[in-house]
A and B are shown apart, each in its own frame.
Chain A
């Protein structure tokens, strides 16, 4: 957003109390369920069984035993590795696919151009969950079922929001930049690679953030396409805590916190980019 710091308008004094009360209530509603899980993750099974209130803080604030167990038994290291591989490959792929398509559609006039554009834009309207029944057959026939390539291909090929973001952005890059390079003898590929791509950095940042969050959090694609437990992602590895750990809430809580912490770190580090990225990227 190009907006400068929000205006320093003050709240009328009368309503201030009501407004702060409502904000504090909202903050409690958000934080309370998470805090209880954090507390539980540091309690021993005996503490949990003792019948004291769930709101009671743990006896030992540094009891990270459940985390060690959850990390080991939930194969979180492997899940983190799988998620990282899938995330890096599919986000990189999305950036190239989206920017190439945007470059071709915006900078060239060719037959079927509006048909191609229409195909991309129509696909953004189709919620991918509705087509899973038959997408499954495609993945299966390509031999991608139960491989990391299944989610990678699906993240690159379905969610087309990236193309929309790139198309909007590339229109702001003057065509004279390309033409100057063209006169200097640069090929179209060089122009894309050396001029367009570097100039699209802000759009790339937006796509990386929006897509990265979506991939890290996605549950049903890895769940449907990678049932192999060695291919667990952060989402599916956590989901499997439901089975073997039964009602071991101290371990489930620790696993849950382990999955949330990376999100919190990324959020605190990239807050401003995330806000503006989502504002731009929710054209879907």
Chain B
């Protein structure tokens, strides 16, 4: 009887886990070796054809380059978040107000953010007006120009996600016992030394976590560009392309292979990161 008890609690959670996480993952791997269109009752196995197609057709693989803009943006984002977390760990005036303002965008609905910035970047819109106030000429199509669109979109991504990194770092800094600072200050350490030898080591696991989130986030960008530009003019990302392959062009096999490539990349990044920075999560079990 007792041997069965845990399973009565696990039946429902496991059923959901298998149906909505593992069945899709297994199917995805299977379909990735087929030419299935997602509709026909049958399909044929085509071996590694889909994978070869992804890595040899330039336009299919090139969308990965779009991720580099977002990766660059997340470096800026992490640095800014560290700066603001450091600054706001001091006892400043309006501290909570600034904290709230910097964090709030993270909570805002993605579609709402998309519209706010569609309007922001319109010709003659907020951004142009703002630049105009400093005498910087307008005339740029921030979202229409293929050379600019990814910078604009990556900027939106920083606006949206900075708050999460910032709050994580701030929590990390505030959990450092104040005696440590006091002792260091008494020993005559300056602020740069305090950051390097006290704050940075304590934040390392959080910076590691933010790095995985940044890399896997940059590889799987979807919402902001899909809502704002629909992936037009150079702004197409790997996930937008995959979703289009699957749901517009009915290339389920090829889309599955693309998704497997993305999944493997993300698992690889996570694995590398875990090797470099020991994780707290392994403590469970």
Which residues of A pack against B, CB within 8 Å?
1, 3, 6-12, 19-20, 22-23, 26-27, 29-34, 36-37, 40, 53-55, 96-98, 100-101, 103-105, 107-108, 110-111, 113-114, 116-117, 119-121, 123, 125-127, 129-138, 142, 153-154, 156-158, 160, 163-164, 167-168, 171, 188-189, 192, 213, 216-217, 219-220, 224, 234-236, 238-239, 241-242, 249, 252-253, 255-256, 259-260, 263-264, 266-267, 271, 274-276, 278-279, 282-283
Contact = CB atoms under 8 A, between A and B. Distances in A.
Contacts of B108: 217, 260, 263
B107 A267 contact: yes
Given A7-B91, A133-B242, A138 B19 contact: yes
Interface stretch (B54-62, B124-132, B145-153): B124-132
Contacts of A9: 89-91, 178, 181
A75 B189 CA distance: 60
A279 B191 CA distance: 25
B107 A213 contact: yes
B246 to A, nearest CB: 4
A135 B24 contact: yes
A220 to B, nearest CB: 7
Interface string B233-247: 000000100110011
A266 B178 CA distance: 32
Interface stretch (B8-16, B66-74, B135-143): B8-16
Which residue, B111, B130, B216, has most C-beta atoms of chain A within 10 A? B111
A275 B167 contact: yes
Given A108-B6, A252-B115, A131 B25 contact: yes
B259 A131 contact: yes
Contacts of A125: 266-267, 270
A138 B24 contact: yes
Given A9-B89, A22-B84, A37-B115, 16 more contacts: A3-B174, A10-B91, A11-B92, A23-B92, A30-B104, A30-B159, A32-B126, A105-B10, A126-B25, A157-B17, A192-B9, A219-B223, A219-B227, A220-B226, A255-B115, A278-B164
Contacts of B84: 22-23, 26
Contacts of B23: 134, 138
A134 B102 contact: no
B91 A8 contact: yes
Nearest to A153: B20
9 contacts: A33-B120, A34-B116, A37-B116, A123-B17, A125-B270, A134-B25, A217-B107, A219-B223, A238-B115
Contacts of A53: 129
A186 to B, nearest CB: 13
Contacts of A242: 115
A136 B28 CA distance: 11
Instruction: List 4 tightest A-B contacts by C-beta distance, closest first.
Output: A157-B20, A157-B16, A108-B6, A104-B9
Contact of B256 (A26, A34, A133, A241): A133
Contacts of A116: 10, 14
A160 B115 contact: no
A129 B240 CA distance: 10
Contact of B13 (A12, A101, A132, A164): A101
Assign chain B's interface to a size class.
Answer: 35 or more
A24 to B, nearest CB: 9
B100 A23 contact: no
Interface string B212-244: 010010001011001100000000000100110
Contacts of A276: 171
Interface of B: 3, 5-10, 12-14, 16-17, 19-25, 27-28, 31, 38, 83-84, 87-92, 98, 100-105, 107-112, 115-117, 119-120, 124-126, 129-130, 159, 164, 167-168, 171, 174-175, 178, 181, 191, 209, 213, 216, 220, 222-223, 226-227, 239, 242-243, 246-247, 252, 255-256, 259, 262-263, 266-267, 270, 280-281, 284-285
B17 A131 contact: no
Contacts of A171: 284
A235 B109 contact: yes
A219 B247 CA distance: 16
Contacts of B119: 33, 36-37, 40, 54, 249, 252-253
Contact of A54 (B3, B9, B12, B125): B125
Contact of A27 (B38, B101, B191, B216): B101
A110 B9 contact: no
Given A23-B98, A153-B16, A129 B112 contact: no
Contacts of B5: 104, 108, 188
Contact of B27 (A137, A157, A216): A137
Nearest to A279: B171
Nearest to A124: B281
A127 B209 contact: no
